[in-house]
């Protein structure tokens, strides 16, 4: 994302790639909400604009966090999916859920789902990963 | 940070507060590197500018993630420290360390420390928390 890295700190490295308000929401859409098309990301509640969405998808692809390929059913459509490197951000994203749910009085997160994540985080991550491993 | 929230998603909530390139580095400085003065944050490797630093400190304080008070030894100096809400971001920050270390070929993170974090994350977090609970 940045042309030059700011330091050799791993936290700064991570923030250089996903430290903005949108990238992790696209990864959330891909991994937690099973979205895969441009139009689906565009329709998320946060109302991302088309230029920011296009920019972030390109950056995420350049950073090796997502990949795109032609839809087999409709060759004009592109399908996005997380890579292994992107899937490895799942624990980080689940920590964001836990923190957000704790401090956001107006959260709309389904609490049964949040409990499941908390109770068996490894199993939760494994289940999501399985979804992507089945696809070619 | 944002005037209006984008959605009631806990991930978006978290990103609205710390989804930028600098806020979590300041929290890193406070919690992992034991820094507490403005000048110390300014001297971190990432070379934050004075206006961004001042802005982020104010935002973090407004969001209840850090607090400031006068230094007992030198009343003209301010001491910053994380609040309970800020300390609760430690697991998220440690996930960033793990991910960054895995994917950054040029990481300068001390690997013995990273191993310690990974092996007993709860104990690691507890030790850092203890440091702040001893202070008034």
Contact B4, B56 (CB under 8 A): no
Residue B131: name the closest of B96, B82, B73, B78 by CA.
Answer: B82
- State in Å, rounded, how far the first CA of chain B is from the last one: 28
Rg (CA), chain A: 15
Q: Where are the domains of chain A?
A: 10-134
Cross-chain residue pair A95–B95, CB shorter than 8 Å: yes
B63, closest residue in chain A (CA to CA): A103
Residues of B in contact with A101 (CB under 8 A): 10
Q: Roughly what angle, to the nearest 10 degrees, separates helices B121-134 and B111-119?
A: 100
What are B25-38's pLDDT values in tens digits?
999 999 999 999 99
Please tell me the distance from the alpha carbon of residue A36 to that of residue B49, in angstroms, as a whole number.
38
At B5 the pLDDT is 87
Chain A interface test: which of B19, B93, B117 (most A C-beta within 10 Å): B19
Using a CB-CB cut-off of 8 Å, the residues of chain B touching A100 are 9-14
**Cβ atoms < 10 Å from Cβ of B94:** 23
Q: How far is CA A47 from the centre of its chain?
A: 16
Residues B29-52: what's their mean pLDDT?
Answer: 97
Q: How many CB pairs under 8 A join A and B?
A: 147
Dist. CA A117–CA A121, nearest whole Å: 5
- Residue A101 CB: number of other CB atoms within 10 A? 22
Q: Bridge partners of A78? A: A70
Q: Give A5's pLDDT tier (boundaries 50, 70, 90).
A: confident
Q: What is the mean pLDDT of chain A?
A: 94
Distance in Å, alpha carbon of B60 to nearest chain A alpha carbon: 14
CA distance B47 to chain A (A): 8
Residue of B31, B96, B105 to mutate when probing chain A, most A C-beta within 10 A: B96
Could you tell me which chain A residue has the CA closest to the CA of B14? A100
pLDDT digits (tens, 9 = 90+) for A70-86: 999 999 999 999 999 99
- Residue A28 phi/psi, 5-degree rounding, is -60, -50
What pLDDT score does B133 carry? 83
Instruction: Let me know if domain A10-134 sits in CATH 1.10.10.10.
Output: yes
* Closest Cα in chain A to B102: A10
| CA gap A26, B82 in Å, rounded | 29
d(CA B21, CA A17) in angstroms, rounded, equals: 9
| Helix, strand, coil percentages for chain B (3-state, nearest 5) | 55, 5, 35
pLDDT digits 0-9 by tens, B62-111: 999 999 999 999 999 999 999 999 999 999 999 999 999 999 999 999 99
Is the CB of B14 less than 8 angstroms away from the CB of A99?
yes
Q: Do B13 and A102 touch (CB under 8 A)?
A: no
Q: Cα separation of A113 and A132, whole Å? A: 20
CA B5 from chain centre, in angstroms, equals 22
A76 vs B67: CA distance, rounded Å: 53
- Tokens for A53, please give them: 């969405």
Residue B1 pLDDT: 45
pLDDT at A55: 98
Q: Is the pLDDT of residue A100 over 60?
A: yes
């Amino acid at each position: 994302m940045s042309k030059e890295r700011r330091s050799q700190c791993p936290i700064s490295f991570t923030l250089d790639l996903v430290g903005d308000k949108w990238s992790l929401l696209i990864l959330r859409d891909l991994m937690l909400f099973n979205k895969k098309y441009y139009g689906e990301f565009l329709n998320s509640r946060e109302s991302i604009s088309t230029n920011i969405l296009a920019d972030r998808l390109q950056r995420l692809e350049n950073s090796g966090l997502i990949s795109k390929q032609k839809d087999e059913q409709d060759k004009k459509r592109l399908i996005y999916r997380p890579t292994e490197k992107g899937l490895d951000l799942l624990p980080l994203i689940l920590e964001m859920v836990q923190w957000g749910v704790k401090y956001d009085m107006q959260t709309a997160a389904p609490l049964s789902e949040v409990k499941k994540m908390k109770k068996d985080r490894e199993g939760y991550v494994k289940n999501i990963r399985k979804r992507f491993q089945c696809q070619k």
